[in-house]
Amino acid sequence: MNKLHEIKDEFVLKIQPVASSEELDVIRVEFLGKKGKVQELLNALGAVPKEERREMGQALNELKNAISSEIEEKGKRIKEAELNAKIAMTTLYDASLPYEAKSGSLHPITKIINELEDIFASMGFSIEDYSEAVSDFECFTSLNIPEHHPARDMQDTFYLENESGQNPKLLKTHTSAAQNALMKKYGAPLRAIFPGRCFRNEATDATHENTFFQMEGMMIDEGVSISNLIYFMKTMLSKVFERDVEVRLRPGYFPFVEPGFELDIKCLICGGQESESGAKGCPSCKHSGWLELCPCGMIHPNVLKQGDIDTEKYSGFAFGLGLTRLAMMKFAVKDIRVFNGGKIEELKIKA
């Protein structure tokens, strides 16, 4: 009986570290094989005194069964681990396995810019690019917003440092900052659009961002009037949305235009309708049903003069289109922060 316990202890000790099918086979042969330790005792059973034989035989059989089922259990676990390892290896190295290729897409703002450039180019506008860091003169003074003008308070921005500390550049708050340079570069007559990234020191929420895109448009020629402005805006918006868009012009004050307007479009997300809960509009249009899209107006004579344009001969209109807002409307994006958020899935436009 002592021998029996010895075998059991030895088996428990030996099977514990086994980690492969090969090692397990060695153990199986050692204990259960024809010349194995259990069989040895079974063979010797004849020499056991008759009165102990029955008990001994029974104990040996129990040991044999216990070892056998333990080996079987261990074998199952090892097989499973070996299979998992194989799958892991296949996943890592098998280049022939099928996989879904993920293709990129253009950013919604880029799509809008491309589209608008095509529309305006077809109407004879040139497409201009301009720096994001501009001077105070370009961003404010040349646009009839002198120092200490209250309009500056609404456009707090980020000021860059320079070595001398004199006239630091700032991140432009609106694309209008390029008006002066373009007037001086091309003179009149002039038709140009200039899309660009703008910046404001702004607390962000669903409709406000510190970094956003605008597209400025400017037309200067003899006899340009408000009806030219309305014509171009209507043509452009109907092409962008590929349908009739309801717009409204409200008088608006911007120092660089006179008269100035605020062009609103009917919210395309909620359609200006009441929601199920009975609330008017949606968060995107601040529950008004309308979305401010575009300040516009006739360029103020002071601004033309700063750009060396003869105001006796020429007049012009300008508009600053909110590209980010336009993209929200066109692609029904409810939160402006999506555009700078970097989440690919949210930026994929089902166009």
The helix/strand count (H/E) of the chain reads as 12, 9
CB of 270 to Zn ion, least distance (A): 3
CB of 343 to Zn ion, least distance (A): 23
Comparing CB distances to Zn ion, the nearer of 139 and 270 is 270
Comparing CB distances to Zn ion, the nearer of 65 and 273 is 273
Q: Which stretch binds Zn ion (CB under 5 A): 60-68, 203-211, 281-289, 296-304?
A: 281-289
CA distance 326 to 213: 10
CB of 176 to Zn ion, least distance (A): 27
Q: Which stretch binds Zn ion (CB under 5 A): 159-167, 186-194, 203-211, 274-282?
A: 274-282
Residue 281 binds Zn ion (CB under 5 A): yes
CB of 206 to Zn ion, least distance (A): 11
Comparing CB distances to Zn ion, the nearer of 252 and 283 is 283
Residue 282 binds Zn ion (CB under 5 A): yes
CA distance 188 to 235: 23
Cβ neighbours around 351 below 10 Å, total: 10
Give the SS3 label for residue 37: helix
Q: Which stretch binds Zn ion (CB under 5 A): 5-13, 44-52, 111-119, 285-293?
A: 285-293
Comparing CB distances to Zn ion, the nearer of 18 and 333 is 333
Token pair, residue 98, equals: 């099928």
Token pair, residue 119, equals: 């529309």
CB of 142 to Zn ion, least distance (A): 36
CB of 267 to Zn ion, least distance (A): 3
Q: Can you state the angle between helices 2-15 and 50-93, rounded to 10 degrees?
A: 0
The alpha carbon dihedral of 161, 162, 167, 171 has a sign of negative
Comparing CB distances to Zn ion, the nearer of 190 and 270 is 270
Alpha helices in 94-187 (DSSP H): 108-122, 136-139, 179-186
The alpha carbon dihedral of 195, 200, 204, 207 has a sign of negative
CB of 296 to Zn ion, least distance (A): 22
Kindly identify the residues of this chain, within the stretch 252-271, that bind Zn ion according to CB under 5 A.
Answer: 267, 269-270
CB of 230 to Zn ion, least distance (A): 24
Q: With contact defined as beta carbons under 8 Å apart, do 214 and 246 qualify? A: no
Comparing CB distances to Zn ion, the nearer of 89 and 279 is 279
Q: With contact defined as beta carbons under 8 Å apart, do 332 and 351 qualify? A: no
Comparing CB distances to Zn ion, the nearer of 282 and 323 is 282
Give the SS3 label for residue 8: helix
For tokens 């200490």, the residue is: 148
Comparing CB distances to Zn ion, the nearer of 63 and 329 is 329
Classify strands 190-199 and 126-127 as parallel, antiparallel or unpaired: parallel
Residue 285 binds Zn ion (CB under 5 A): yes
| Binding footprint of Zn ion on the chain (CB under 5 A) | 267, 269-270, 281-282, 284-285
